[in-house]
Structure 1
Amino acid sequence: MHAMQYEIVLPADYDMEIIRKRVATRGHLLDDFPGLGLKAYLMRERGASSPVNSYAPFYLWNTAEGMNSFLWGPGFQGVVNDFGRPRVRHWTGLSYTEGPASQATPAAATVRRTPVPDGVEPARFVAEQVAEEPAAGAVASAVGIDPSRWEVVRLTLWEQSDPPPGGDRFQVLHLSQPGRASLRPGRHW
């Protein structure tokens, strides 16, 4: 599994209805994309538990080929054409877990990034992060790591629109999940 996210920070007075319409008209285009486990179309609005307006899709890829096909294909080029080329963050997958509310449609997401502290055994720290069980209301959760920055990321999709604290909070506008059933559950090593 590969986790990927780009966040496009938008002006404070940006009409976020533009993002809602974009997702409503284009979101379905990845509903059957080869190699994609799931894509959560995430948005946050300034003043609504966020200091900024942003559009920040988060992807879980089953295959590197699927991820590359997206990045070097017309889908991502549309993002580049409309917003400029964003920095794409990428993490190697460590675990995936369906949550207690796995049958629900997610309304919100949290993305929590945690640096691996200096002086801590990386394997032990990562094992502790992966062992964290999804809380009530969680639809699904994934953990990844970027070893070039020693950063762990946890994406959690939530049934409720007001998720528990911890990380950046987003609205889920749409969930494409063509390969969600193929995302391997549990620890990935």
Structure 2
Amino acid sequence: MHAMQYEITLPADYDMGIVRRRVAARGHLLDDHPGLGLKAYLVRERGLDGSPVNEYAPFYLWRTAEGMNAFLWGPGFRGLCADFGRPAVRHWLGAGLRRGPGAGPPAAATRRAERLPEGADPAVAVERALAGLPDHPDLHTAAVAVDPARWEVLTIALWCGAAPDTAPGTRYRVHHLSRPELDRLPAGRHW
């Protein structure tokens, strides 16, 4: 599993209706993309859920590198670049996945990134992150991934309904979920 995200920060006075309409019109285009576990169309709006910014920040869990490459070098990502400029694309290696009991499509997400201090044992940090994945009735899906270039551990959780107040991290609203191969991503540890 590979995790991927790009964040497009928009001006404070940007009409976020443009992003909502874009997702409504184009979100379904990845609903059957080969190699894609899930794409959560994440949005932050200034003044909502404590967000200081307007941001479009799609998050992906890829089942295959080929699917990820087909997206990045294909027409969908080129169209995004034509509309917003080419964003920096972050990439993490998948370390684990938990499926939750939450029913229905997710409405919210939380994302937490933790840089490991020099000398910290990465295996211990990953095990701690996996053990800390939420066990909540509204959890849809949660994952842990690692960027070994920056030694950053990422935890993301998708929630049916609002994210619990106790869920740490940056809060997003989910405007669409494409999940063509989510059921094919292995649950639990990925080693």
Q: Do Structure 1 and Structure 2 share a fold, with TM-score over 0.5? A: yes
Distance 2:82 2:147 in 1: 27
Distance 1:127 1:100 in 2: 22
Deviations 1:34-67 (A, max 9, x none): 0000000000100111010000000000000000
- The answer as to 2:106 corresponding to 1:106 is yes
Does the aligned pair in 2 maintain the 1:107–1:158 contact within 8 Å? Answer: yes
User: Alignment partner for residue 185 of structure 1, among 166, 184, 187?
Assistant: 187
Distance 1:115 1:99 in 2: 26
Deviations 1:116-143 (A, max 9, x none): 1222211111111112232322111011
Q: What fraction of aligned residue pairs are identical, expressed as a percent?
A: 60
Other structure's SS at 1:33 match: coil
Q: What is the match of residue 161 of structure 1?
A: 162
Distance 2:112 2:135 in 1: 14
- Aligned residue type for 2:189: R
Other structure's SS at 2:94 match: strand
Does the aligned pair in 1 maintain the 2:40–2:174 contact within 8 Å? Answer: yes
Distance 1:162 1:134 in 2: 11
Q: What is the match of residue 95 of structure 1?
A: 96
Distance 1:11 1:108 in 2: 22
Deviation at 1:14? 0.3
Tell me the matched-pair count.
Answer: 188
Does the aligned pair in 2 maintain the 1:97–1:142 contact within 8 Å? Answer: yes
Does the aligned pair in 2 maintain the 1:110–1:163 contact within 8 Å? Answer: no
- The answer as to 2:124 corresponding to 1:134 is no
Tell me, which stretches of 5 or more residues in structure 1 are unaligned? none
Does the aligned pair in 2 maintain the 1:108–1:163 contact within 8 Å? Answer: no
Distance 2:111 2:25 in 1: 25
Q: Which moved more, 1:121-130 or 1:11-20?
A: 121-130
- The answer as to 2:32 corresponding to 1:68 is no
State the TM-score, normalized to the length of structure 2.
0.95
Other structure's SS at 1:54 match: strand
- Aligned residue type for 1:51: P
RMSD over aligned Cα, in angstroms?
Answer: 1.0
Does the aligned pair in 1 maintain the 2:7–2:58 contact within 8 Å? Answer: yes
Q: What is the match of residue 121 of structure 2?
A: 121
Distance 1:135 1:10 in 2: 33
- The answer as to 2:168 corresponding to 1:170 is no
Other structure's SS at 1:42 match: strand
Cα distance change of structure 1 residues 162 and 127 upon mapping to structure 2, 3 Å threshold: closer
Distance 2:116 2:127 in 1: 12
Q: What is the match of residue 149 of structure 2?
A: 148
Deviation at 1:162? 4.1
